[in-house]
Chain A
Amino acid sequence: MTPKLRWTLVGVAAVAALAAGVYFGMERAGTPASPAQAGAALAGLALPDPAGKEQRLDQWRGKVVIVNFWATWCAPCREEMPEFIKAQQQHGAQGLQFVGIAVDQADKVDQFAKEIGLNYPTLIGGFGAMELSKSLGNKLMALPFTVVLDRKGEIVHTQLGELKPAKLQSIITQLL
């Protein structure tokens, strides 16, 4: 690469960075986008558990909370849950808390939870939960979608699709 080309690229990159920054700023203006704000929106959420009892997400504040949007009709969602069960069992005492938000019917959730021995709470979220996940970055409103909150309640990671075991491990190592 010639020096001239290199500087041209740097110049173009700088302009692009500025444009991207402006664009990103604009995009963020419409949504509760800062990690603290988005985390607060999520923490303030109250959803029924399969028994119909309202549960607020901020009851787990102070823990590392992994909120997993899922559904029984979503095979990739079901496939990653055994890993979550294992991690909950191994690291729950250190302050790791998984919370499921099922975009599904309570009876199906209950049946599936029993079948796989779910050891963390899962709440029933309707379309509103999907809208919330959209504001957290799940623009396609697809599942699974997972949000990781640190002990302060700030969102530190969001994941559309499988939360890979290596990623989960690094979250556990860094945040617990």
Chain B
Amino acid sequence: MGLLATSTGSARKRTLSAPAPALALVLASLALGVASPADADPKLLPPQEAFRFSARALDDRTLEARFAVTDGYYLYRDKMRFALDPDMTDIAVTLPPGKVKEDQFFGKVETYRGEVVVRVPLAQAAGKSVVLVADSQGCADAGVCYPATRQKVTLALPEAGKGPGPLVDAYPRKKNWFN
């Protein structure tokens, strides 16, 4: 990977506006014989991007957590956990049903694709703000799995009777050339 993946990655982004440098970069990579022994990997996203976590406070006692699962990726339902930092006790939530998949080793497992929305109740009034921690674990259809990934958002809690608050992204979208 290393150079080859890096070069072709940036070349891909440039293809629309600058085909010649993109081609040159690919040629350059090939010409170098690229010292890295790895095969070029499929263009995989880091887990925070493949499984984008965001949340908002619906009111002073309820949070709403969301995972936006990128096409070509999936999350395991039974690996999803929520807690508040620094308490870190698992919060009991009702997870939506997933798609049932037969796993040779684990039997029936449920997976999520697309958007997953989960209500996270707060046991008691938690003050002005909370840090919601979400653990998730998933895989790419390309044939790799990621270890459990922890993501966090800090949410300001609305006053009782008010809300909801704004949606907060755990992994802010990068500005690129096209937006």
Contacts and interface: CB of A to CB of B under 8 A. Distances in A.
Interface of A: 8-9, 12-17, 20-21, 23-24, 27-28, 33, 35, 71-78, 103, 112, 115, 130, 137, 139-144, 155-162, 167
B6 A23 contact: yes
A10 B75 CA distance: 45
Contacts of B76: 73
B143 A76 contact: yes
A115 B29 CA distance: 44
Contacts of B7: 20
B46 A140 contact: yes
Contact of B23 (A9, A15, A157): A9
Contact of B3 (A13, A24, A158): A24
23 contacts: A12-B21, A13-B24, A13-B27, A13-B31, A20-B7, A20-B28, A73-B76, A73-B79, A73-B145, A76-B144, A78-B104, A137-B38, A139-B1, A140-B47, A142-B140, A144-B144, A155-B37, A158-B37, A160-B1, A160-B41, A160-B44, A161-B42, A162-B143
Nearest to A162: B143
A116 to B, nearest CB: 9
B161 to A, nearest CB: 43
Given A13-B31, A74-B139, A141 B25 contact: no
Interface string B1-25: 1110011000000000000110111
Q: Which of the four size classes fits the interface of chain B? A: 35 or more
Nearest to B25: A16
Sorted nearest first, the 4 A-B pairs with minimum C-beta distance are A17-B28, A74-B145, A12-B24, A16-B28
B39 interface: yes
B146 interface: yes
B137 A73 contact: yes
Contacts of B20: 8-9, 12
B36 interface: yes
Contacts of A78: 104-105
B21 A156 contact: no
Given A112-B105, A140-B46, A16 B143 contact: no
Contacts of B146: 140-143
B131 to A, nearest CB: 22
A75 B27 CA distance: 36
A14 B25 CA distance: 9
Nearest to B35: A24
B100 interface: no
Nearest to A17: B28
A162 B36 CA distance: 18
A65 B48 CA distance: 33
A161 B142 contact: yes
Given A130-B147, A140-B44, A143-B146, 9 more contacts: A9-B23, A23-B6, A24-B3, A27-B2, A28-B2, A103-B147, A158-B37, A160-B1, A160-B38
A159 B143 contact: no
B103 interface: yes
A75 B139 contact: yes
Given A20-B29, A27-B2, A160-B1, A75 B46 contact: no
